[in-house]
């Protein structure tokens, strides 16, 4: 008969393995994310109820209050929903799932050993996805992680005034993601995490630093190839914050790296053309976004305080749009915060922003002042990546993609848990 301690250890291992599986597989398997999230939730509550006999959570009280209000306003918004079945399904299968995943990760991943396993999992995940991206971009045009329905490289077409007047610009990498913007959002989170690890003190583990530098270069290269202007805005925002904190330590290597990057873009024809045609040509993108935001704003104004109902924006967009696709095709707002406000109101949006603010500011403050060098760099780097992710979300659909939602809530759990941890280094 297993004793209480062995059962506790078994459940703890199940929770941790589920978290690591989500972290590794989220770029290419929604099924694994869903299954492992469910397993982690069941194991977590079993541990709390039957072993610890307490539901006390190791999460900051302000964060828990913000999360409670976020869930509450998601639920209240259903009173305005014209699609109650969609709203109820989203409340339980999305909102509660992600909030519980955050709490589980923050409550579980706190020790140096678990941080080490998280970092190793991230390294192997990056190696796999970068291999897939190279394979897709330079060898076959399709990824190898989705068989038989493999994702092709994304082909973008410029559209002029006539519907039939289009021409192919280029192919952009997506790796295991459906769109370059999704891939770029994932790249930003990992890029800043590994970038900060490269400047940490790894107790003479130069091989880890070399690996992190190599992965940073590869991540930055594909981030550029994605040509996602929203992702680059997020990158610039996080780089500015990083320079403000580490200005004396990294300003010189940053300037050298910037000069090298500019030289490479200038000398390589494909990169130079990409910069001229995509990075500087923002007119079409801005026009598309403004049209979608205008429609989203009109949806928001129907019920600004408590929203039109969680998970109803896509349906309302189909009704509110004024072009030839009215009543035929829905869409996302391509502004997660506007869409969230339209769905759950300004109170729900405020609760979400308060949650993000409390988690990230607390983690950054602690990582700068209190934590040891590896953990400090990891937490600060991941926080910068999540800030870039959120800035990018102002122009895209990051928080409404299952893969990227899992990345965001799991990442927030990591910085919340590790950001409040003891001063220990793996």
Q: Is 80 exceeded by the pLDDT of residue 410? A: yes
pLDDT at 12: 95
Highest mean pLDDT among 7-16, 263-272, 370-379: 7-16
**Per-residue pLDDT band at 1 (split at 50, 70, 90):** low
Do 420 and 60 form a contact (C-beta atoms < 8 A)? yes
Higher-confidence position of 224 and 258: 224
Find where tokens 């306003």 sit: 73
Total domains, the chain = 1
Task: Please count the CA atoms within 13 angstroms of the CA of 327 that sit on its side-chain side.
Answer: 0
pLDDT at 360: 95
Q: Is residue 425 part of a domain?
A: no
Q: Is residue 280 part of a domain?
A: yes
Q: Is residue 222 part of a domain?
A: yes
Give the range among 31-35, 290-294, 301-305 with minimum mean pLDDT.
290-294
Do 148 and 195 form a contact (C-beta atoms < 8 A)? no
pLDDT at 40: 98
Q: Is residue 41 part of a domain?
A: yes
Q: Distance (Å, rounded) from C-alpha 109 to C-alpha 416?
A: 9
pTM: 0.91
Give the range among 190-204, 275-289, 321-335 with minimum mean pLDDT.
275-289
pLDDT at 128: 97
Q: Compute the average pLDDT of residues 89-103.
A: 96
Q: Is residue 89 part of a domain?
A: yes
Give the chain's mean pLDDT. Answer: 87
Q: Is residue 266 part of a domain?
A: yes
Higher-confidence position of 307 and 368: 307
Q: Is 90 exceeded by the pLDDT of residue 394? A: yes
Element of type H or E holding 267: helix 229-267
Q: Read off the pLDDT of residues 311-328 as tens digits, 9 standing for 90 and up.
A: 999 999 999 988 888 888
Q: Is residue 424 part of a domain?
A: no
Q: Is 70 exceeded by the pLDDT of residue 170? A: no
Q: Is residue 426 part of a domain?
A: no
> Domain residues for 342?
4-419
Do 310 and 344 form a contact (C-beta atoms < 8 A)? yes
């Amino acid at each position: 008969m297993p004793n209480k301690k062995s059962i506790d250890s078994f459940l703890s291992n199940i929770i941790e393995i589920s978290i690591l599986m989500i972290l590794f597989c989220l770029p290419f398997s929604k099924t694994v994310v869903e299954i492992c999230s469910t397993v982690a939730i069941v194991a977590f509550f079993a541990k709390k109820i039957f072993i610890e006999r307490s539901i006390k959570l190791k999460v900051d009280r302000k964060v828990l209050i913000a999360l409670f209000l976020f869930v509450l306003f998601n639920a209240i918004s259903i009173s305005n929903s014209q699609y109650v079945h969609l709203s109820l399904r989203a409340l339980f299968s999305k909102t509660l799932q992600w909030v519980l995943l955050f709490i589980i990760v923050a409550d579980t991943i706190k020790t140096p050993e678990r941080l080490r396993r998280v970092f190793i999992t991230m390294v192997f995940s990056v190696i796999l996805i970068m291999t897939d991206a190279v394979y897709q971009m330079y060898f076959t045009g399709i990824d190898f992680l989705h068989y038989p329905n493999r994702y092709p490289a994304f082909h973008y077409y410029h559209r002029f005034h006539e519907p039939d007047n289009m021409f192919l610009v280029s192919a952009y990498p997506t790796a295991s993601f459906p769109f370059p913007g999704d891939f770029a959002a994932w790249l930003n989170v990992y890029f800043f995490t590994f970038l900060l690890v490269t400047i940490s003190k790894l107790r003479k583990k130069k091989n880890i630093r070399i690996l992190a530098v190599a992965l940073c270069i590869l991540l930055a290269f594909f981030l550029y190839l994605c040509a996602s202007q929203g992702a680059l805005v997020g990158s610039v925002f996080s780089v500015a914050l990083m320079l403000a904190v580490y200005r004396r330590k990294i300003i010189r290597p940053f300037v050298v790296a910037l000069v090298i990057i500019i030289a490479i873009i200038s000398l390589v024809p494909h990169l130079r053309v990409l910069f001229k045609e995509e990075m500087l040509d923002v007119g079409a993108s801005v026009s598309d976004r403004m049209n979608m935001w205008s429609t989203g704003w009109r949806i928001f104004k129907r019920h600004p305080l408590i929203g039109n109902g969680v998970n109803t924006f896509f349906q309302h967009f189909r009704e509110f749009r004024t072009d030839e696709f009215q009543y035929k095709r829905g869409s996302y707002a391509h502004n997660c915060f506007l869409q969230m406000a339209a769905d759950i109101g300004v109170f729900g949006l405020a609760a979400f922003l308060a949650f993000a603010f409390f988690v990230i500011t607390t983690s950054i403050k602690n990582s700068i002042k209190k934590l040891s060098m590896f953990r400090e760099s990891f937490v600060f780097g991941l926080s910068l990546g999540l800030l870039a992710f959120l800035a990018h979300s102002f122009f895209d659909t990051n928080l409404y993609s299952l893969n990227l939602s899992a990345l965001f809530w799991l990442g927030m759990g990591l910085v919340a848990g590790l950001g409040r941890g003891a001063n220990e280094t793996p």
